[in-house]
Amino acid sequence: MEKIMALSSKVIAHDFSINFTELCESANMTPDYLSELITYNIIKPVAGKTPDDWRFSTNAVKIVNKAIRLHQDLEIEWADIALVVDLLDEIDQLESENRQLKKQMNRLLAFKL
């Protein structure tokens, strides 16, 4: 059973990742520009040790697009964007948890009435 689970995880990870070239094309960026985002830890490869072997989650395209908007629209420096993206993600997570807790609270209150 463990072997099947491990194999499934590998297949899922592979199916939902893209390589460096695919990320460049998806984000409409040059390799040098994308390498700069990696240098600033705005995006990180999920696998691989060299650019030829790097794999990125498909979510990386969304992160790159968000980073570009922050840099162009708000003139945030690249060095600061990784922190801003992390904080925005944390806000999204907290808002999601808050919605779930409100639903649970409403169910409990409705049950008690």
Residue 9 corresponds to which tokens in the numbers above? Answer: 């995880």
Comparing CA positions, the residue from 27, 39, 33, 97 lying closest to residue 65 is: 27
Of 20, 16, 89, 28, which Cα lies nearest the Cα of 59?
16
**pLDDT at residue 9 is higher than 70:** no
pLDDT tens digits, 10-63: 444 445 899 999 999 999 999 999 999 999 999 999 999 988 899 999 899 999
| Model pLDDT for residues 75-96, shown as the tens digit of each residue | 999 999 999 999 999 999 999 9
Residue 79 makes CB contacts below 8 A (sequence gap 6+) with: 40
Going along the chain from its start, the domains and CATH numbers come out as: 2-112 (1.10.1660.10)
